[in-house]
Amino acid sequence: MIGILLITHYTLGDSLLECASHVLGHVPANARALAVACDAEPAAVQQSAQALIASLDSGNGVLVLSDMLGGTPANIAGRLALHGKVAVVSGANLPMLVRALCYADNPLEMVVAKAMSGGEEGVQLMDNGEQDA
């Protein structure tokens, strides 16, 4: 099973995991969140992330999801990427996480593809076609 680590600003990752648990009806055992506070020391966060990756990796790899490209959590996550073992995707959202959790029994490459498609397909304009008066 693929491990999933969310590295996000403040407690966004914890909230996404709580919401995913609600949607799925269970708490995923293969997922954790790492909150990055505004005053966090990046090197210390990276060490914590590496320890979490080690605990989540059952030998099949880990998907790291981060919230915002260019932010400190994503910059830290990017340093953790290891081809074929640790994949990193930015722009984490609930559809992305749920899709990754649902396909976590598949190879890492497929879980990455499913997570990315879930994130992209989950962003839609919901326009009812009515004009403002």
Query: According to the model, what pLDDT value does residue 63 have?
Result: 98
Alpha carbon dihedral 95, 116, 61, 43, in 10-degree steps, equals: -90
- Consecutive H or E run containing 7: strand 3-9
> What would the pLDDT profile of 10-39 be if each residue is shown by its tens digit?
999 999 999 999 999 999 999 999 999 999
Q: Domain locations in the chain?
A: 3-118
Residue-wise pLDDT for 98-111, tens only, equals 999 999 999 999 99
**pLDDT value of position 133:** 61
Three-class SS state of 66: strand
Strands (E), 1-133: 3-9, 31-36, 62-66, 86-90
CATH fold label, 3-118: Rossmann fold (3.40.50)
- Cα separation, 83 vs 92, whole angstroms: 20
